[in-house]
């Protein structure tokens, strides 16, 4: 009997619970070599190419491109010995009971899963107070326009009045018909009741990364008791150090982000309580400073990690971030390069933003926001001079650390930024 190998989805990382099959790089009947990429899957953070476990012929693709919610262990395809014929491979669907209904459907009739319909009109999570249920924006629009809610027929869930319902009533009053397609109904856009054309628009489907980021950030803001601290750092010495490093190593050129990574890692070594997370009702303290950095990509934010940053000098950090950031923007990070992390940095200084208050990235207890270095009058002894000042803000989980610990951490970060020589010892 001809040998056939099941090509199964591996466990990519502990944090990856399911993936989407993006693209088959080989087709049924194609010859594949062991170690050759044959399929691409999409996690919530990046795309990963999976390699053939053996050499042979790709006889049967069990999961079609576009199928979502795939878990580790599911059979993606069958690879037969090169001498196998079609009759030697079990018929697609024979393992449906083992893999579950979703896989069985894909095996019998491979197809992409259509995205769910997009609801243009948002709904409130719960009925509004009062006798008449309406979404907040509908209630506001009706109040501004002087329209009684009782005169509006709601078409939302359970008869709830929506923004579209209010616009329909307003359109009827001014003699404009409502049609499908491009909105033609004027919409109230502010408290002055200015009526303008809604204009053309299109709805953009979220990438898996943006969907997960949106969900996690909403949960974090709702469930994590944030507190915020702000500190100003004299940045002249740090900027001078970076300029000198650029002259010595034009190919490397450490950045402000690299310097803040190093400063934060050393500060966490001094204030280990802040190098922590909230896990199942307990505080978990980490021994290594694994610094995650928020990077903007075409598909959303991702946080590649510089592991053991407290044990690496500035040059090593700069070398590592250059590779991590490039792979992040190309969507080629491995799961182990972004999963985990004990502390996060978000730097928007390159966009001219002077300060930001970021949302904690659970289960971590802290995230540091870094602003641009700007020229300001600063007191030096009894004199006032113009210096470069950079604002750092700490957002922290009050379940894990208190204000004193956060203040101690920020002070340690400032010390290393203002005296960058400390990072060399």
Q: Which residues pair with 344 in a beta bridge?
A: 292, 367
Q: Which of 226, 219, 231 is nearest to 402 (CA)?
A: 226
Catalytic residue among 140, 202, 398, 416: 398
For residues 125 and 299, give the distance between their C-alpha atoms in angstroms, rounded to a whole number. 27
- The answer for 408, left when phi > 0, alpha when psi is -120 to 50, beta otherwise, is alpha
How far is CA 7 from its chain centroid?
29
Q: Which of 265, 402, 240 is nearest to 320 (CA)?
A: 265
Quote the Cα angle for 300-201-128, to 5°. 85
Q: Is 226 a catalytic residue?
A: no
Sequence-ordered list of residues with C-beta below 8 angstroms from that of 19, at least 6 positions apart, any chain: 9, 12, 41, 42, 43, 48, 68, 70
For residues 166 and 149, give the distance between their C-alpha atoms in angstroms, rounded to a whole number. 9
Which residues are annotated as catalytic? 398
């Amino acid at each position: 009997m001809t040998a056939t190998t099941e090509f199964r989805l591996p466990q990519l990382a502990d944090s990856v619970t399911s993936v989407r099959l993006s693209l088959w790089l080989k087709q049924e009947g194609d010859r594949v070599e062991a170690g050759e990429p044959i399929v691409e899957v999409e996690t919530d953070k990046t795309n990963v190419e999976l390699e053939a476990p053996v050499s042979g012929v790709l006889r049967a693709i069990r999961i079609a491109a576009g199928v979502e919610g795939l878990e580790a262990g599911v059979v993606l395809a069958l690879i037969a010995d090169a001498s196998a014929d079609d009759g030697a491979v079990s018929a697609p669907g024979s393992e449906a009971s083992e893999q579950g209904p979703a896989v069985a459907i894909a095996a019998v009739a491979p197809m992409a899963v259509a995205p769910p319909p997009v609801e243009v009109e948002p709904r409130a999570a719960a009925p509004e107070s009062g006798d008449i249920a309406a979404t907040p924006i509908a209630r506001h629009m009706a109040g501004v326009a002087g329209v009684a809610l009782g005169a509006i027929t709601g078409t939302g869930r359970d008869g709830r009045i929506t923004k579209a319902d209010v616009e329909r009533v307003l359109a009827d009053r001014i003699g404009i018909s409502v049609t499908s397609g491009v909105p033609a109904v004027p919409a109230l856009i502010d408290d002055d009741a200015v009526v303008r054309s809604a204009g053309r628009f299109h709805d953009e489907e979220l990438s898996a990364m943006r969907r997960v980021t949106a969900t996690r950030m909403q949960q974090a803001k709702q469930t994590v008791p944030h507190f915020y601290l702000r500190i100003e750092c004299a940045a002249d010495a740090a900027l001078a150090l970076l300029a000198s490093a650029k002259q010595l190593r034009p190919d490397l050129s450490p950045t402000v982000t690299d310097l803040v990574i190093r400063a934060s890692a050393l500060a966490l070594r001094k204030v280990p309580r802040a190098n922590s997370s909230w896990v199942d009702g307990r505080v978990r303290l980490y021994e290594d400073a694994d610094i995650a950095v928020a990077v903007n990509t075409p598909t959303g934010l991702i946080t590649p990690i510089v592991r053991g940053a407290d044990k690496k000098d500035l040059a090593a950090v700069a070398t590592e971030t250059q590779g991590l950031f490039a792979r992040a923007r190309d969507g080629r990070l491995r799961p182990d390069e972004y999963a985990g992390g004990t502390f996060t940095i978000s730097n928007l200084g390159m966009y001219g933003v002077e300060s930001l208050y970021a949302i904690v990235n659970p289960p971590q207890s802290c995230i540091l926001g870094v602003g641009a270095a700007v020229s300001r009058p600063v007191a030096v002894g009894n004199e006032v001079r113009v210096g470069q000042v950079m604002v750092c803000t700490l957002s922290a989980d009050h379940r894990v650390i208190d204000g004193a610990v956060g203040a101690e951490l920020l002070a340690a970060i400032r010390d290393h930024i203002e005296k960058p020589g400390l990072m060399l010892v």
